[in-house]
Amino acid sequence: DNRAGAGGNTGAAAAARAEPDGYTFFVGATHHVIAPSMYTNLTYDLQKDFIPIGMVSQVPHVVVVHPQKVPAKTLTELVASAKANPGKLNYGSAGPGTAHHLAGEMFKLLTGTNIVHVPYRGAGPAMQDLLAGQIDMAFDGLGSSAAQIAGGQIRALAVAAPKRSAAFPDVPTAAEAGVPGYEVSTFYALWAPKGTPPAIVERMTKELQTALQAP
């Protein structure tokens, strides 16, 4: 059940109110840890209202652009274009305070560029508008951009990681592409609502580890 809105906080709040009967779990991410420093009216507490089950994955962010709207073929060209045209480029995010948003602002700080932030109600709508050419670029998680990169619908200029991705070995790291220090990743994790029976928490923990170790 994908409850979009408020940078993922709408879904988190719904999960916190769910019956702790073992049939509802919460898949959260980096932005749920960031949220308390960004929002003053949260209706849930990640530490008090949930029981952590385990980490699901950690993926680097990638700088992606719409190939027709942004002619830059490299990160250096993108930075040069952004500096020459301050406020002309824009980027979409999953919402204020999300990892996508902070990745974009970190990029702007490191490069001294002015790129306009366009927040969405989730990463899905942002990607839809990027594919449609409604926005210019994004600082997206590599996992959610992978299919579109492989299909040529968007162009990857750099991964925000210390090493290149095995899935896209031709895409340079940000440091290789001229922006040293730009490293951003998103983690995804599983929680159970507080009050979920210990036996169910233990079972789900074991099943998650079994799934993660499968080829």
DSSP string of the chain, one letter each residue = -----GGGHHHHHHHHTS--SSS--EEEEHHHHHGGGT-S--S--TTTSEEEEEEEEEEEEEEEE-TTT----SHHHHHHHHHHSTTT-EEEESSTTSHHHHHHHHHHHHHT---EEEE-SSHHHHHHHHHHTSSSEEEEEHHHHHHHHHTTSSEEEEESSSS--SS-TTSPBTTTTT-TT---EEEEEEEEETT--HHHHHHHHHHHHHHHH--
Based on the fold, state whether residues 47 and 93 are members of the same structural domain: no
Based on the fold, state whether residues 199 and 155 are members of the same structural domain: no
Domain assignment present for residue 1? The answer is no
- CA–CA gap between residue 168 and residue 149 (Å, rounded): 9
- CA–CA gap between residue 40 and residue 114 (Å, rounded): 27
| pTM, rounded to two decimals | 0.80
Q: Determine contact, residues 100/138, Cβ cutoff 8 Å.
A: yes
Based on the fold, state whether residues 129 and 191 are members of the same structural domain: no
- CA–CA gap between residue 126 and residue 64 (Å, rounded): 12
CATH number at residue 19: 3.40.190.150
- CA–CA gap between residue 98 and residue 107 (Å, rounded): 14
Looking at the predicted structure, is the pLDDT value of residue 113 above 90? yes
Looking at the predicted structure, is the pLDDT value of residue 152 above 90? yes
pLDDT at 190: 97
**Which pLDDT band, with edges at 50, 70 and 90, does 80 fall under?**
very high
Distances in Å between the alpha carbon of 35 and those of 9, 42, 96, 157?
8, 8, 9, 28
Based on the fold, state whether residues 67 and 115 are members of the same structural domain: yes
Amino acid at position 117, single letter: H
Mean residue pLDDT across the chain? 94
Based on the fold, state whether residues 204 and 120 are members of the same structural domain: no
pLDDT at 7: 67
Based on the fold, state whether residues 95 and 130 are members of the same structural domain: yes
pLDDT at 101: 92
Looking at the predicted structure, is the pLDDT value of residue 74 above 70? yes
Based on the fold, state whether residues 92 and 162 are members of the same structural domain: yes
Count: domains in the chain: 2
Based on the fold, state whether residues 96 and 115 are members of the same structural domain: yes
Per the structure, the complete domain to which residue 166 belongs is given by 59-184
Looking at the predicted structure, is the pLDDT value of residue 143 above 80? yes
Looking at the predicted structure, is the pLDDT value of residue 6 above 80? no
pLDDT at 159: 97
Nearest in space to 69 (alpha carbons), one of 178, 154, 184? 154
Based on the fold, state whether residues 35 and 92 are members of the same structural domain: no
Based on the fold, state whether residues 126 and 157 are members of the same structural domain: yes
pLDDT at 34: 83
Based on the fold, state whether residues 132 and 84 are members of the same structural domain: yes
Q: Determine contact, residues 100/117, Cβ cutoff 8 Å.
A: no
DSSP lists the bridge partners of residue 65 as 137, 155
Looking at the predicted structure, is the pLDDT value of residue 173 above 80? yes
Looking at the predicted structure, is the pLDDT value of residue 104 above 70? yes
pLDDT at 20: 96
pLDDT over 70, % of the chain: 99
Span 71-83, mean pLDDT? 97
